[in-house]
Amino acid sequence: MGRNNFSILTILSITLLPILSLSFSTDSPTDRRLLVLLDDLSLKSSHSIFFNSLKSRGFDLDFKLADDPKLALQRYGQYLYDGLILFSPSIERFGGALDLAAVLDFVDSGHDLIIAADSSSSDLIKSLATECGVDFDEDPSALVIDHKSYAIAETEGDHTLIAADDFIESDVLLGKKKIEAPVLFKGIAHSLNTANTLVLKVLSASPLAYSANPSSKLSSPPSLTGSSISLVSVVQARNNARIMITGSLDMFSNRFFRSSVQKAGSPRKYDKSGNEQFVTELSKWVFHVRGHLKAVNLRHNKAGETDEPAMYRIKDDLDFSVEIYEWSGKSWEPYVANDVQVQLYMMSPYVLKTLSNDKKGLYHTSFKVPDVYGVFQFKVEYHRLGYTSLSLSKQIPVRPFRHNEYERFITAAFPYYGASFTMVYGRVLYLQLCLPVPQVRPYCNGEDCTAMNMVLSDIH
């Protein structure tokens, strides 16, 4: 019996090995295996354009109902998926081993997440969004209303179909090609948590928009108004996990992708909305097709040498270099920027230098070790909008001069040397010129005295 169990476990391990090997790696950071949780399997066809665009880019999608009793994100301590797409706004409770804490642990482990809500959103989805740094309108019947930037339709409607075009200005988030057509949005509003500095608005409402129940009159001022309303937001966590949050599930639908759009007050009508381009480009960022950096080969050495020393001496000249590359979706390409800096750090930066680059990925600089000894760190902390953060450090001790390494004569001490020699010379001169010469007066009597005087006269 024991042998049979061992055989079964072995077979399961071999079967799961290809799945687990698809997980995130630094050699190919793009997510590959995505779990898509749906309220209704009909969303596979109503949102097929979005799903097919992911498949065409090499993603492996696993569709499941959000209440599936066999749901699990990990097995044997290993995550089965690289990313999670929640198209299940009305789910009250996930099935299987999945819950709010499991989703947050998934993100804390460096994996990515897309949350799409709508007017039927449950407390579970809103709580998850709150944990990620955004707050949906507490009124369950409220929608985003805009009487100026609405999309012109055949019927007048209630102006809840928004034609939004207030995009964030970032090529790394939305691609280099400008999105010309407005994005159709119909859903609920959310605001950013001011305590969370990692969340960003990608698509904002117009200054005249507000969140309210479109079927009833306002009895009090709406809680969310104007540009404080975010339609689509993103978060890049400190572990470089990426999250996209929106209050419109319809924004991903085939109907909105194919629909023509004309913004109120604008004479131009677009044959196709900007939804497909917007969602496609933003999903590339979320799943690390774009904006992912890596730093390798951090090196330092004394000027004129190639080997990395075990320690430096104060006032040594040194060279520092590091290579930085950006993932293009298929390969690593040199990353070119002029704002990468290195610190020589001990409690605080003693040296801060901007690195030069050769446009081939190599960043380098040279500087002198400060006249302070201790345990220092080379630190590269790079944070730029839309890019993964880089945090590199390498520890290196710095020693003072040894007793036999000091200069024999220190230039700064020349005045003291001069003062000392001047004092010695002055003392000798004083003894020679100022003190009287003693006269020899020998003691003698009679003939002995006459003889001594003769001797002294001969000496003189």
**Mind listing the pLDDT tens digit for each residue in 69-95?**
999 998 888 999 999 999 999 999 999
- Work out the pLDDT band at 246, boundaries 50, 70, 90: very high
Nearest alpha-carbon partner for 23 in 70, 74, 64, 68 = 74
> Which residue's entry shows tokens 């010379």?
425
Helix H or strand E encompassing 5: helix 2-20
Contacts of 352 (CB under 8 A, 6+ apart): 341, 342, 343
Q: Which residues pair with 450 in a beta bridge?
A: none
Q: Read off the pLDDT of each residue in 162-181 and give the average, rounded to a whole number.
A: 93
Q: Among 3-17, 45-59, 263-277, 337-351, where is mean pLDDT lowest?
A: 3-17
Residue 69 has a pLDDT of 92
Q: What is the pLDDT of residues 82-137, one digit of tens each?
A: 999 999 999 999 999 899 999 999 999 999 999 999 999 999 999 999 999 999 99
Strands 112-116 and 83-87: parallel
Nearest alpha-carbon partner for 249 in 173, 186, 205 = 186
Q: Read off the pLDDT of each residue in 252-279 and give the average, rounded to a whole number.
A: 93
Q: Read off the pLDDT of each residue in 353-382 and give the average, rounded to a whole number.
A: 92
CB environment 238-272: b (16+ within 10 A), e (fewer): eebbbbbbbbbbbbbbbebbebebbbeeeeeebee
Tokens of 400: 């003072």
Contacts of 114 (CB under 8 A, 6+ apart): 83, 84, 85, 86, 243, 244, 283, 286
pLDDT at residue 217 is higher than 80: yes
- Work out the pLDDT band at 329, boundaries 50, 70, 90: confident
Q: Compute the distance between CA of residue 129 and CA of residue 138 in angstroms, rounded to an integer.
A: 12
Residue 7 has a pLDDT of 42
Residue 447 has a pLDDT of 56
Residue 458 has a pLDDT of 55
- 221 DSSP assignment: -
pTM above 0.75, yes or no: yes
Q: Residues 30, 289: contact at Cβ < 8 Å?
A: yes
Rounded to an integer, what is the distance from CA 388 to the centroid of its chain?
Answer: 4
Strands 317-327 and 362-368: antiparallel
Residue 30 has a pLDDT of 62
Tokens of 247: 């209050």
Average pLDDT, the chain: 86
Q: Read off the pLDDT of each residue in 247-267 and give the average, rounded to a whole number.
A: 93
pLDDT at residue 448 is higher than 90: no
pLDDT at residue 436 is higher than 80: no
Torsion of CA 100, 101, 103, 109, to 10 degrees: 160
Tokens of 77: 């301590």
